Amino acid sequence: MTPAPSPTATTEDPKRLAEFEARIARGETIEPKDWMPEKYRRQLVRMMSQHAHSELVGMLPEANWITRAPSLRRKMSLMAKVQDEAGHGLYIYCGTETLGVDRHDLTNQLLAGTAKYSSIFNYPTLTWADIGAVGWLVDGAAIVNQTMLAKASYGPYARAMVRICKEENFHKRQGFEIMSILSAGTPEQHAMAQDALDRWWWPSLMMFGPHDKDSPNSDELLRWGIKKKSNDELRQRFVNLTVGQAKAINLTIPDPGMKFNEATKNWEFSDINWDDFWRVVKGDGPCNRERLAARRSAHANGEWVRAAAEAHAQKHARKESAA
Amino acid sequence: MSSGTDNQGPLWEVFLQPPNGGAHEHAGSVHAPDAEMALQNARDVYARRSEAVSIWVVPSGAITASTPEDMGPFFEPGNDKPYRHPQFYKVPQGVRFS
């Protein structure tokens, strides 16, 4: 639909800004044609496009295991999950386009390596248990984040999240089932599940982003209702949910310092290694280059499909105009 | 890499009718070179879990929408006529209407 007009001035009209913030405070939803501060629009484009890119890149570590899934049931589930991730990417790109951005430009930014996506996908999926850990932890963390975003102030983003949240629960449950069965299997299978949890635990906690005090965008995102909860609040909620799940399938969270705080009812965890986080964000994770190369190759290999679709449409258009 | 050419196709708005007999409702949008492929893409993107019994796709540019600036005056005729609502009318206590 028609994008919102974007003001050219860097300073917003204080009256319109006050009206806008009053709408946010009343819990109203902002729609594409409504007036919005340029900075709100830019924050949304930044956040939504990174989110959409993450869905697309997120297909890669899992697609890696489709051909080696241990049974037909697992293979069908994994293919359906990977297809969902493509769909999720498209829902969010479509939301971003309501802000006057062309999906084509976003695709090019991703392929050129100038766009960010979630760092979690720059870690490798080394064993089958990693597919379990990704579904359980990575999708589990994503659900915590997206459930919050489903109440975001921007209508098209919130509505895309509602659709996504309905589908993510299948992702998490299939991952948890994989982990649960491996954990109850042979000693080797149990060790494989524990190893996957050991490697994915800390990167999953980092998915929520830096601590609130180190998160430059947080204040604005919270004030304008793009986010409803802070990074640290969401991370704590994820940890609290996951402790019981790990216990239920007899796996140990790799944090010996973890303890329950009776007063706050929170599971307190040890310090996160932020050096590792920033290293991966800045491009030096184990798989950054591999992921981009795979995405570029997938896009290039799909070129003939897009060209054929375009040619087919043109041929039919000519036939119709001749008739 | 085809970063120079834009062959994603134009934008189409997607409307789904749910199986429970409701009306078509806006779901999102897809890119496709023509209407037929837009329908197929819409099915793959928005109806993987029996969400729809019917899909409409409409070229995004073909939609004419009211604007937020119109909001007040445009909807005014409906806002100041409470007598269009049943609550406007008094009925004797104890009479069942439904």
Q: Would you say residue B78 lies in a domain?
A: yes
pLDDT at A6 over 50: no
> What residue spans define the domains of chain A?
14-286
Query: B60 lies in a domain?
Result: yes
Q: Does residue B29 form part of some domain?
A: yes
Mean pLDDT across chain B, nearest whole number?
Answer: 89
Domain extent for B22? 11-88
User: Is it the case that residue B3 has pLDDT exceeding 70?
Assistant: no
A130 touches A90 (CB < 8 A): no
Number of folded domains that form chain B: 1
Which range has the worst mean pLDDT, A167-171, A202-206, A243-247? A167-171
Q: Answer whether residue B54 is part of any domain.
A: yes
Tell me the DSSP string of A32-95. Answer: TTS---HHHHHHHHHHHHHHHHHHHHHHHHHHTTGGG-SSHHHHHHHHHHHHHHHHHHHHHHHH
Mean pLDDT (chain A) is 94
Please name which of A4, A304, A322 lies closest in space to residue A154, comparing C-alpha atoms. Answer: A4
For residue A1, which residues of chain B lie inside 8 Å, CB to CB? Answer: 13, 60, 63, 65
What chain A residue is nearest to B35 in terms of C-alpha separation? A313
Q: What is the CATH number of the domain that holds B80?
A: 3.10.20.520
> Which residues of B are less than 8 Å from A87 in CB distance?
44-46, 48
Q: Is residue B38 part of a domain?
A: yes
pLDDT of residue A116: 93
CA atoms within 13 A on the CB side of B17: 9
Q: Taking the mean position of all CA atoms in its chain, how far away is CA A17?
A: 30
Question: Does the pLDDT of residue B95 top 80, yes or no?
Answer: yes
Q: Please state, in angstroms and rounded to a whole number, the distance separating the CA atoms of residues A137 and A203.
A: 10
> Which residues lie closer than 8 Å to A141 by C-beta, 6 or more apart?
A120, A204, A205, A207, A208, A238
Residue B22's CB is within 10 A of a number of other CB atoms, namely 10
Residue A5 predicted with pLDDT over 80: no
Q: Cα separation of B92 and B80, whole Å? A: 25
pTM for the model stands at: 0.91
Q: Decide if B2 and A91 are in contact by the 8 Å CB cutoff.
A: no
Range scoring the smallest mean pLDDT among A204-218, A252-266, B25-39: A204-218
Under the banding of pLDDT at 50, 70 and 90, the label for residue A33 is: very high
B4 within domain boundaries: no
pLDDT at B76: 83
Correct CATH for A14-286 of 1.20.1260.10, 2.30.30.230, 2.30.30.190, 3.90.1150.10? 1.20.1260.10
| Cβ within 8 Å, pair A111-B49 | no
Question: Over the stretch A240-296, which tens digit does the pLDDT of each residue have?
Answer: 999 999 999 999 999 999 999 999 999 999 999 999 999 998 889 999 999 999 999
pLDDT at A159 over 80: yes
Residue B32 belongs to a domain = yes
CB contact under 8 A, B60 and A300: no
Res. A201 pLDDT band, cuts 50 70 90: very high
Compute, in degrees rounded to 10, the torsion defined by CA atoms A249, A250, A252, A253: 20
Interface test with A, best of B5, B8, B11, B25 (most A CBs within 10 A): B8
Closest by CA position to A115, among listed A53, A40, A59, A42: A53
- Chain A with chain B: Cβ pairs closer than 8 A: 75
How far apart (Å, rounded) are the C-alpha atoms in residues A131 and A74?
A: 10
Domain membership of residue B6 (yes or no) is no
Q: Is the pLDDT of residue A2 over 70?
A: no
Cβ–Cβ of B9/A313 closer than 8 Å? yes
